[in-house]
Amino acid sequence: MQYKTKTASTRNFIAVAETKAKLQKGKNIQQAFLLKQLSGYKIQFNTDKQRLIIKRVKNAWERMQHLKVAVLYTVALCITGFLLYGSVIATDLHFAQQALINGKNIGIIKDTAKFESLIKDMQQSLSTTLGKEVEPTDKPVYIARLVFGKSLTSDYTLRQNILSTFGEVEEAYAIYVNDVLICAALNEQVARDAVEKIKNDNLDGTPDAQVEFVESVSIRKEFIPIGYMRSQDGIYNALTATRETPKVYKVMQNDTIWGIANKFAMSVDELYSLNKELSDVLHEGDELLISKIEYILNVQTKYVYKGEKAIPYPVNEIQDYDMPLGKKSVVVAGVEGKKYVVEEITKQNDEIVDRNIISEEILSEPVAESVKVGMKKDLSTVAISGKLARPVFGTISSRYGNRSRGFHKGLDIAAPTGTPIKAADGGTVTFSGWSGGYGYLVKINHGNGYETYYGHCSSISVSPGEKVAKGELIAKVGNTGRSTGPHCHFEVRLNGVAQNPSKYIN
């Protein structure tokens, strides 16, 4: 059965209706299939647009399938992103910036804030070195880059490139000692000649000597502040100079203040001035500031010495009680022996630090010397001569006068415990024994108001009332009483008033 329509839209609508009508009459497999297919569509006719609208109707299962596909795509996209990021990390890729100043490439950096802080620090450092204000560089320009880690600019190269943008620098040959910049030269040969001259000056007259620097020395071509520029002589002087630097010393068992001062060629007063809170009693583990002279560059020389060396002769003393005390007279002159030695000598800064005997052969034995030693006491006093003998052989560690801990009434002569203390002049012992802060003390009266004190003794050899001669043993050096180390505290008194001992000692 057929119908004729005037429009396509009308025809389509009637055709569908007709199809449905026909399908309702037939009950076969095809009809069931078509009905099933049509049930999945929504059919409408738009009268305004004169158009037939057919829409596919999705059931719940189909909607779930579409949702599942969407979720799978999202997960896949996330996984791909993570894999891409992981690939960037695994291949050492970095998001970085290429820094330029005045159009000049400075380097590839990761942190612009750190880079600009570095520029500022270098400007201040350069101003300090030159002693005047250095103009800042133009503001850096950055270009984003994705680079491998090895493409990032090293700190050293970055600093050099930044330095090159300042006006107060020159490209020169810098001399480093243990990676510390010492000086520089515009000419590479000038720098190398100055370093070589130091080695030649330490050959010690031995062409076969091995001369090496204890520290590492390197010459690098780089941009350097002009304040570091030197001539060849200037480089030599800079590398051979010394400096006094404070160091921390940890007190060890049996250390004394005097011993520490003596060890580092300091006076006790210098040690006290560096350590304001220092007490007279030291404890193991205490830390003290000490002053130490150091070379900028230490030079070590090794060579083999072959030749004759003298063998010292022994001295036999013969006591003579008719000869004044302290006088000596040679009876039989000694003769040095000789030996041929082969030894390896190691010097550092022209001071022998090690000897290694390879072989030696005695060429002649030494002959002993005989000497008469005077034992006769001389009871003359300072009141007659006006001069005193030095009571002990040692180092003056503290002089008469004002010092950080108050007025010092005597002269401190540092020496190892047990060193002999001798009477500075003839006289009578007025006191020998313990005396508070003096420790073990000896007093000698020389007449006419003169008296001498010998303090901090470890032992005493005389008694009160005993007559002693100039140069006679009266005690031994110690560390008793209020003492910072083994020494002899020597006082000269006139009518009970302390005098400056240095004015009386020969």
Instruction: Give the mean model confidence (pLDDT) for residues 412-434.
Output: 91
E strand or H helix at 194, and its extent? helix 188-201
What 3-state class would DSSP assign to 434?
strand
Q: Among residues 167, 182, 207, which one ends one of the domains?
A: 167
**Tokens standing for residue 494:** 């006139």
228 and 315 belong to one structural domain: no
410 and 477 belong to one structural domain: yes
pLDDT of residue 23: 45
Q: Are 489 and 454 in contact (CB under 8 A)?
A: yes
Containing domain of residue 40, as a range?
8-56
382 and 499 belong to one structural domain: yes
d(CA 67, CA 144): 40
47 and 64 belong to one structural domain: no
Instruction: Give the mean model confidence (pLDDT) for residues 183-202.
Output: 93
Q: What percent of the chain has pLDDT over 70?
A: 82
113 and 52 belong to one structural domain: no
pLDDT in tens, 209-241: 899 999 999 999 988 888 888 999 999 999 999
Higher pLDDT, 27 or 221: 221
Domain count, the chain: 7
pLDDT in tens, 290-326: 877 789 999 999 999 999 999 999 999 999 888 877 6
384 and 497 belong to one structural domain: yes
pLDDT of residue 15: 39
**Among candidates 457, 482, 422, 453, which has minimal Cα distance to 268?**
482
Is pLDDT at 327 greater than 70 in this prediction? Answer: yes
392 and 498 belong to one structural domain: yes
Q: Among residues 295, 313, 335, which one ends one of the domains?
A: 295
335 and 397 belong to one structural domain: no
470: number of CA atoms within 13 Å, CB side? 22
326-362: b or e for each residue (b if 16 or more CB lie within 10 Å)? beeeeeeebeebebeeebebebeeeeeeeeeeeeeee
Residue 442 covered by a domain: yes
Residue 496 covered by a domain: yes
Q: Among residues 167, 185, 217, which one ends one of the domains?
A: 167
Residue 1 covered by a domain: no
- Other Cβ atoms less than 10 A from the Cβ of 197: the count is 16
d(CA 177, CA 214): 10
Our CA angle for 343, 346, 347, nearest 5°, is: 135
Q: What are residue 411's DSSP bridge partners?
A: 490
475 and 399 belong to one structural domain: yes
